Amino acid sequence: MERRLFGTDGVRGTANIWPMTAEMALRLGQAAGRVFVRGDHRHRVVIAKDTRLSGYMIEPALTAGFVSAGMDVMLAGPLPTPAAAFLTRTLRADLGVVISASHNPYQDNGIKLFGPDGFKLSDAIEVEIERAILADAAPALAGPAELGRALRIDDAHGRYVEYLKSSFPRGMTLAGLKIAVDCANGAAYHIAPDLFWELGAEVVRVGTSPNGFNINHDCGSTHPENVARAVLAHGADLGIALDGDADRVVMVDEHGQIIDGDQVLALIATQWQEEQRLTGGGVVATLMSNLGLETYLADRGLPLLRTKVGDRYVVERMRQGGYNLGGEQSGHIIMTDFGTTGDGLLAALQVLAVLLKKNRPVSEVARPFTPLPQKLSNVRVQRRIDLTSPVIEQLIKDSQAKLGRKGRLLVRASGTEPLIRVMVEAEDEALLSDILGSVSGAIASYADSPAH
């Protein structure tokens, strides 16, 4: 069955346009509820959301769907995606749901699902739910006496903050550090500043005034220059930039220079290897991670295992091979010693722990390797195009031949937006720019051609 609703990270789309409508959310709640109602105990689902205006539409629709399927709904309010995964496990819920489109603008929204173990659902379960949503027949619903109830989780914020603090080395404090924290006007706007302040830091708050429309707008991990300006303006020791649902992090040093997910992976891997805490004998990342990271880790005897783009695929590979560290260049960092999904705040705390142990400026520690020059281009398309067509495959083959062994070309369809993403790496920056432009232009022309 071709997946029509679920992408690489749940269901996502423009708010109030199918599939991101109240009707679909209701159906999803009913379908997922019936799939996860197993046994005779009271079934529970945790629902969290970010700060988008459309969350007010989707949350009650989902709640109605789950209640009608016989599940009790626990509403956590604005809360990071990894916090919902954490609460699903610790509250012994049968299902966790996050209403968020992550790093996308406010016009978009999405629905992500977690199983009772806190991990994202498998493709097979998502297909089962999707079939039920799209079926012509009316769903089987609970009887009048078996309807669920809805209640608020009043201590969700505090539970998650204490969990995060427990991951930080005992006896270590952030006292004496000034940290600029950009919450992207998203789900962590009230949690992240509290966390770092409670651990002793002086906190410069950035992107902590959500209004329903400004999530990720010129702020957060997709615009790290915003927190970089705050670092320089306030003389901070470092900056931390989260995305709208705080499952990814990008950092900047005291000079405002960016530290991306690849550098974070390298830093944590090196420290954990020294402390004999790294399991599996390597690190898991995606096709997007820089060749510089792969070379750096190889020099330390650590292979870099690559997966398709998407933190769910990184997690799957980690679980298969017993790896406890993996992530994406975009800032999804997964540490299975602590959590089940990407967590920007957990990753930031691990980086801070390394910095305190080294007792050196961030700029001297947090960029352990020199990346190969890499550029990205997003080609917006109006409809899905076949990237395995002979025309596109020949284009990719010819371009890769020009790059040779010292460069890489990656062309893929976004799983969350109507985009074709083109990434080129090469030592020769002129060649890099030439291939990026020619491939992006050719794909745009191909997509616009009525013959395809």
Per-residue model confidence (pLDDT) at position 417: 77
User: What is d(CA 244, CA 331) in angstroms, rounded to the nearest whole number?
Assistant: 12
Query: 235 Cβ partners below 8 Å, 6+ apart?
Result: 178
Positions of the chain with pLDDT under 50: none
pLDDT in tens, 169-201: 999 999 999 999 999 999 999 999 999 999 999
pTM above 0.85, yes or no: yes
Supply the residues annotated as catalytic.
102
Architecture of the domain spanning 260-345: 3-Layer(aba) Sandwich (3.40)
DSSP string, 320-364: HHT---EE-TTS-EE-TTT-SS--HHHHHHHHHHHHHHHTS-HHH
The CATH classification of domain 374-448, taken from the options 3.40.50.300, 3.30.310.50, 3.40.50.850, 1.10.3720.10: 3.30.310.50
Helices (H) and strands (E) in the chain, counts: 14, 19
User: What is d(CA 75, CA 385) in angstroms, rounded to the nearest whole number?
Assistant: 39
CB atoms within 10 A of CB 144: 6
pLDDT in tens, 132-141: 999 877 778 9
Domain ranges of the chain: 6-155, 169-257, 260-345, 374-448
Scored b (16 or more CB within 10 A) or e, 261-287 reads: bbbbbbbbbbbbbeeeebebebbbbbe
Run of H or E residues at 29: helix 22-36
Which residues does residue 380 pair with via DSSP β-bridges, in sequence order? 419
Per-residue model confidence (pLDDT) at position 451: 60
Per-residue model confidence (pLDDT) at position 56: 98
Taking CA atoms, 406 is separated from 72, 151, 160, 298, 403, in Å, by 55, 56, 44, 16, 6
Domains 6-155 and 260-345 share a fold: yes
Residue type, 230: A
CA-closest candidate to residue 264, choices 207, 202, 349: 349
CA 228 to chain centre: 21
CB atoms within 10 A of CB 167: 16
DSSP 8-state class, residue 140: P
CA-closest candidate to residue 111, choices 191, 247, 205, 5: 5
User: What is d(CA 54, CA 59) in angstroms, rounded to the nearest whole number?
Assistant: 9
Q: Does domain 169-257 have CATH number 3.40.120.10?
A: yes
Residue 71 near residue 42 (C-beta atoms within 8 A): no
CB atoms within 10 A of CB 106: 24
Residue 42 near residue 93 (C-beta atoms within 8 A): no
Per-residue model confidence (pLDDT) at position 366: 94
CA-closest candidate to residue 228, choices 212, 220, 98, 379: 220
The CATH classification of domain 6-155, taken from the options 3.40.120.10, 3.30.460.80, 3.40.50.1820, 3.30.230.10: 3.40.120.10
